[in-house]
Amino acid sequence: MNKTSFSAFIKEEIITYNMKKSEIEDFLNGFILANSITKDETEYLKLTIKNPLIFNYVVSFLKKLKIQYQKSKITITIDDYKQDLYKISYSSPQHFFAGVFCGSGNIMDKNSTSYHLEISSHNLEALSLCINKLNEYDFNFQIIQRKNKWIAYIKKLDKIADFLAAIGAKKSYFELQDIKINRDLDNSINRINNIDFSNLTKSVKSSLNYSKMINFVLENNIEHLFSAEQLIFFDLKLNYPESSLQDLSLILSENHNIFISKSGLNHWLIKLKQVYKMYK
């Protein structure tokens, strides 16, 4: 059994909603603008629809509107289509642009990290009129040519979600928002974990360096350069390398009656580093 793509999921959600006659007209006009291929300057046009559910719904819409057509397995031909393809006219923008997306729209897979939504047409003039209208609502569609088609696309996830909401694809909109929320949460967790790991790595390296310096002082008999309190601190630093300066400050005060702040201990470590560099 083939897995339904996210594009097909959205289209099937839209087309199965109950629509009034005027909404069907708007939907069909948008669908034909995006999907049709016209022949010469005649009113003949051909629709190609590979999705069986959408194909059957479009046929039922044509019947409801009493539009004459012929059909084969995946194509529908209309010999006398009266609507002007170069004039964007509708009473419901939601249903018109829903028809446009169902006619030739495509969207990335839900699990993709590369976002895009596109609408295509064989007719640049008709597509440009459509996109100019959409961009009045700040969707910022761009148009490029690909082979024998013109493609209008957006790549920002927020704009894609707004478009789905605008064409009435509510389930798909919320599904996309859930994916965005989960992805943002995962990114935040990864960022925090990376920061924690980075800090841990820095802490371990720092502790190893100080241990090396303290051992150097002891091995070279230069303890006289430090006070008794400082040497007690260095001994604690060797025995508890992973302890923070705040923790060591607490141990010094409770167990050795040495009262010094975290900042003061840091100054002792700076002195240790200076002596190490001087005698190394």
Contact in structure between 131 and 137 (CB atoms under 8 Å) = no
Query: How much of the chain exceeds pLDDT 90, in percent?
Result: 39
pTM (2 d.p.): 0.66
In a shared domain, residues 155 and 211: no
CATH number of the domain at 35, please.
Answer: 3.10.28.10
Do 42 and 95 lie in a common domain? yes
Q: Minimum mean pLDDT among 3-7, 72-76, 133-137: which range?
A: 3-7
User: Mind listing the pLDDT tens digit for each residue in 186-229?
Assistant: 777 776 666 555 665 566 677 778 888 888 888 899 989 999 99
- Asked if 151 and 120 count as a contact pair (C-beta separation under 8 A), the reply is yes
Q: Is pLDDT of 184 > 90?
A: no
Averaged over 166-195, what is the pLDDT?
79
Tell me, yes or no, whether 53 and 134 share the same domain: yes
Stretch 56-78: mean pLDDT, rounded?
Answer: 90
Q: What is the average pLDDT across 262-271?
A: 89
- pLDDT for 28: 92
Same domain, 150 and 15: yes
pLDDT at position 200: 54
In a shared domain, residues 128 and 215: no
Residues 154 and 35 in one domain: yes
Q: Is 140 left (phi over 0), alpha (psi -120 to 50) or beta?
A: left
Q: Provide the residue range defining the domain that includes 252.
A: 201-279
Res. 44: pLDDT tops 80: no
Residue 78: the pLDDT is 86
| 146 within domain boundaries | yes
**Shared domain check, 123 and 260:** no
* Lowest-pLDDT choice from 86-90, 116-120, 208-212, 265-269: 86-90
Q: What residue has token string 């900042």?
A: 263
C-alpha dihedral, 150 to 156 to 158 to 160, nearest 10°: 20
Q: Is residue 195 part of a domain?
A: no
The torsion defined by the Cα of 260, 266, 271 and 277, in degrees rounded to 10, comes to 160
How confident is the prediction for the chain on average, in pLDDT?
A: 86
Residue 119's pLDDT is 95
For residue 180, tell me if it sits in a domain: no
If asked whether residues 229 and 140 sit together in one domain, one would say no
Our count of domains for the chain comes to 2
Q: pLDDT tens across 219-256, in order?
A: 899 989 999 999 999 888 888 877 888 888 998 998 89
Identify the pLDDT of residue 142. 95
When pLDDT is averaged across residues 123-143 and rounded to a whole number, the result is 91
Confidence of residue 104 (pLDDT cuts 50, 70, 90): very high
Q: 132 and 266 share a domain?
A: no
Residues 13 and 118 in one domain: yes
Amino acid at 212: K
pLDDT value at residue 45 = 83
pLDDT for the residue 11: 94
Output the pLDDT for position 1. Answer: 41
Q: Evaluate whether residue 181 is within a structural domain.
A: no
In this prediction, residue 144 has a pLDDT band, given cuts at 50, 70 and 90, of: very high
Residue 2 has pLDDT above 70, yes or no: no
Query: Are both 84 and 218 inside the same structural domain?
Result: no
Domain co-membership, 100 together with 219: no
Strand partners, 117: 107, 154
